[in-house]
Amino acid sequence: MFANFITPAYNSYYRKMKIKSKILVILGPTASGKSDLAVRFAKKFNGEIISADSRQVYTGLDIGTGKITKKEMDGIPHHMLDVISPKKIFSVAEWKEKSQKIIRQIISRGKLPIICGGTGLYIQSIVDNIVLPEVPPNYPLRKKLEKKSVKELFAILKKLDPRRSKNIEKQNPVRLIRAIEIAKAIGKVPNLKKQKSEFDILQIGLTSKDLKKKIHTRLISRLKKGMIAEAKNLHANGLSWKRMRQLGLEYRYLADFLQNKISKKEFIQKLETEIWRYSRRQITWFKRDSRIKWFEPDQKIKIEKTVDNLLT
């Protein structure tokens, strides 16, 4: 079994023979069962998990983002969770830099790095070792842009860089502002330059025929677990409504609901619709990569055989 022969000595052999170290990626849309599968494989293949979720890096965003609990981790080390305060902005470049260090540390311990998540650009930054634009934050510009609506931000970006406006998340003010920031600094958001990866990466994609039903069930479960109370607590501890809205999805609608801008019924309906739309955007992003091997969540034995064959 793969878990039995991954050792520091084995990794040393890999280096001498110039064979790339292995990484397993488990990706897919929200509510597709990625976390459970990642834990299962970490136990079977002697692995540690790195979260590739752009909001689970923030402390306190637990119930709303569906962050895995200690019990669900089942003793498996998880990395890149609770990295930074939600009051601050965390970039793709920062995630890539930190994750690459963690990957090398996991490999040095003779274990298998397992990247698990649904943030496409985070995952691509490792899989394709992309070069991210080195544009420092322009805080005066950000302050000015933060006063504008997402519709106004999108119009600005479309004028500056029509190509980037076609594939950006239109309702995400943080990404819109960052794209405008880069476009103003260097003329346009550059095509992401891919480099040869130092790792041998296997990507497993999960999709589900009843994804819409799973999204509904999970949303109701999160509401019962205290998602609204979590948002109230975040605001009480200094997270502004404006910043909460910038965090997107659940927190955008939670901010509106808690400010009495929408009713509870509207909150649930709007949020469920937006999560479903988000899941479709995730699938569209991932389907561009023909290297991903797709499975239904209940095909666990088939997935295990695929992973076992490719890893060993």
Q: What is the mean pLDDT of residues 85-91?
A: 91
Say whether pLDDT at 163 is over 70: yes
Say whether pLDDT at 54 is over 50: yes
Domain 2-129+198-210+280-311 listed as CATH 2.40.160.50: no
CA 224 to chain centre: 24
Q: What is the mean pLDDT of residues 54-70?
A: 96
Say whether pLDDT at 126 is over 60: yes
Say whether pLDDT at 2 is over 70: no
Say whether pLDDT at 4 is over 50: no
Q: What is the pLDDT of residue 168?
A: 80
In the structure, what pLDDT confidence band is assigned to residue 191 with cuts at 50, 70 and 90? low
Assign residue 47 a region (left: φ > 0; alpha: ψ between -120 and 50; beta: otherwise). beta
Say whether pLDDT at 6 is over 60: no
Say whether pLDDT at 39 is over 60: yes
Closest Cα to residue 41, out of 2, 89, 68, 95? 2
Closest Cα to residue 25, out of 119, 95, 94, 131? 119
In the structure, what pLDDT confidence band is assigned to residue 3 with cuts at 50, 70 and 90? very low
Q: What is the mean pLDDT of residues 175-196?
A: 80
CB count within 10 Å of CB 148 equals 16
**Domain boundaries of the chain, sorted by first residue:** 2-129+198-210+280-311, 139-186
User: Cα(27)–Cα(294) distance, rounded to whole angstroms?
Assistant: 9
Q: What is the mean pLDDT of residues 167-193?
A: 79
User: Cα(15)–Cα(9) distance, rounded to whole angstroms?
Assistant: 10
Q: What is the pLDDT of residue 179?
A: 86
For residue 171 the two structure tokens come to 């309702």
pLDDT in tens, 216-233: 999 999 999 999 999 999
Contact 161, 183 (CB under 8 A): yes
Q: What is the pLDDT of residue 8?
A: 53
> Radius of gyration of the chain from Cα atoms?
20
Say whether pLDDT at 171 is over 70: yes
More confident call, 68 vs 135: 68
Percent of the chain residues topping a pLDDT of 90: 69
Q: Report DSSP state, residue 21.
A: E
Amino acid found at 209: K
Mean pLDDT computed over every residue of the chain: 90
Say whether pLDDT at 112 is over 70: yes
Say whether pLDDT at 71 is over 80: yes
Q: What is the mean pLDDT of residues 33-52?
A: 96
Q: What is the pLDDT of residue 34?
A: 96
pTM given for the model: 0.85
More confident call, 18 vs 50: 50
Alpha carbon distances (Å) from 234 to 57, 193, 253, 257, 300: 15, 38, 14, 14, 37
- What's the distance, Cα to Cα, between the start and end of the chain in Å? 8
In the structure, what pLDDT confidence band is assigned to residue 48 with cuts at 50, 70 and 90? very high
β-strand partners of 258: none
Closest Cα to residue 30, out of 305, 307, 281, 293? 281
Q: Strand 112-117 relative to strand 47-52: parallel, antiparallel, unpaired?
A: parallel
Angle CA 54–296–273, to nearest 5: 50
Q: What is the pLDDT of residue 178?
A: 85
Q: What is the pLDDT of residue 196?
A: 87
Q: Please state which of the ranges 3-12, 199-208, 256-265 shows the lowest mean pLDDT.
A: 3-12
CA 158 to chain centre: 25
